[in-house]
Amino acid sequence: MNTPTHAIVNLSLIGKLPLSQFNLPIVIGGIIPDLPIFVFYFWAKFVRKLPESQIWSEAYYQPLCQNAGALFHSIPLAVLGWIIGYYGGWQTMQILYLSLILHSLLDLPVHNSDAHRHFFPFSNYRFISPLSYWDREHYGTIVALIELLLVIIATCNCFSFVQSVVGKGLMLA
Ligand SMILES: [Zn+2]
């Protein structure tokens, strides 16, 4: 799934504007798992100056990039983070890790050849979904359309939070 989609959908699913102090950790948690991929792309494109085709067919599959992606997309490690937040009484940390978990859960059904090891470091298992969010050979066009719809629905959902808060504000005024 595209990174901005994660931020918007996570915000829509676990965010509530009255609890706006949690919106930033939700957005950050929605983006963090893909950070190693951004760093890798920047390095491959602008430092190594590799062609686009080589970046995604070879360099992306090097162990360092794959392990970083697996670490940041690890569901058990994110659950561990949430548990630490829960027992420490740190609500922001819980929300952040909840958003990380949701990112991985939403990635699971839409990654085919580029599937992450979501149970790393305990298992190297990859769920190879028959669907892909980008690969046309695995329904990428349909999945991209559904993703776009999700973004629109999530944005409307976020917008309705704004309306309800503004509405309450007007009633109080
Ligand atoms: Zn991801």
**107 C-alpha vs ligand 1 centroid, how far in Å?**
6
Section 127-145 average pLDDT: 94
- pTM of the predicted protein model: 0.86
15 pLDDT higher than 80: no
- Measure 69 CA to ligand 1 centroid, in angstroms: 8
What is the distance between the alpha carbons of residues 88 and 76, in angstroms, rounded to a whole number?
18
Query: Which of 133, 136, 163, 91 minimizes the C-alpha distance to 2?
Result: 133
Condensed to tens digits (0 to 9), the pLDDT of residues 56-77 reads 989 999 999 999 999 999 999 9
Which pLDDT value is given to residue 11?
85
State the average pLDDT over residues 17-36: 86
Q: Is 31 a residue whose pLDDT tops 90?
A: yes
Calculate mean pLDDT across residues 81-105: 96
